[in-house]
Amino acid sequence: MKFVMMASIKKHNFKSKLKRQLFQYSEDALQRAVLEIRDNNLGIREASRQFSVPKSTIQDRLKGCSTPKKIRKPGPQPLLTVEGEDKIAAWVLNLAKCGFPVTKLQLIETATKIMKDTGKQHLLKKGKLGERWYLNFIKRHPKISIREAEYK
């Protein structure tokens, strides 16, 4: 039995899980808090309450540990760039439109080849991308769904 990917709209019928929400403040609020501390001698704790920015974040910015240009995304860096993954997703969707579904193995091999061509093979475990990357790729691109081929 082969699993193939086709383009379709997926509907989720499950209860949303409660996730910890990060970065519930704006960059502007953080900058205003830092300015108030530096210019008006406002305390860090009071600025944290007034601007709804975590105290530790204000402390980090004052020390110079974090900069506004840094991307605020937790977790490790992605193996492929967002643009690279979008190109792979477009490739899968175009082939599916033409009636040539892409198998899981084809997708993993293609993405692995792209990584090797871009010089990122040192990030690969066992020389190729794994099951976790594949499943997360499918989650990141909801237009791509897993289908089972019908055999008669």
Query: pLDDT by residue (tens digit) across 93-128?
Result: 999 899 888 999 999 999 989 888 888 877 778 888
pLDDT band at 75 (very low <50, low <70, confident <90, very high): low
One CATH from 3.40.1350, 1.20.1280, 1.10.10, 1.20.1740 for 27-63: 1.10.10
Cα–Cα–Cα angle for 76, 139, 99, rounded to 5 degrees = 130
71/121 Cα distance (integer angstroms): 24
As beta bridge partners, residue 144 has 7
- The separation between CA 25 and the C-alpha centre of its own chain, rounded to angstroms, equals 20
Q: Hey, CA dihedral for 13, 18, 22, 24, is it positive or negative?
A: positive
Q: Per-domain residue ranges for the chain?
A: 27-63, 76-148
pLDDT band at 9 (very low <50, low <70, confident <90, very high): very low
Phi-psi group of 4: left, alpha or beta (phi > 0 → left; psi -120 to 50 → alpha; rest → beta)? beta
Residue 5 phi/psi, 5-degree rounding, is: -105, 135
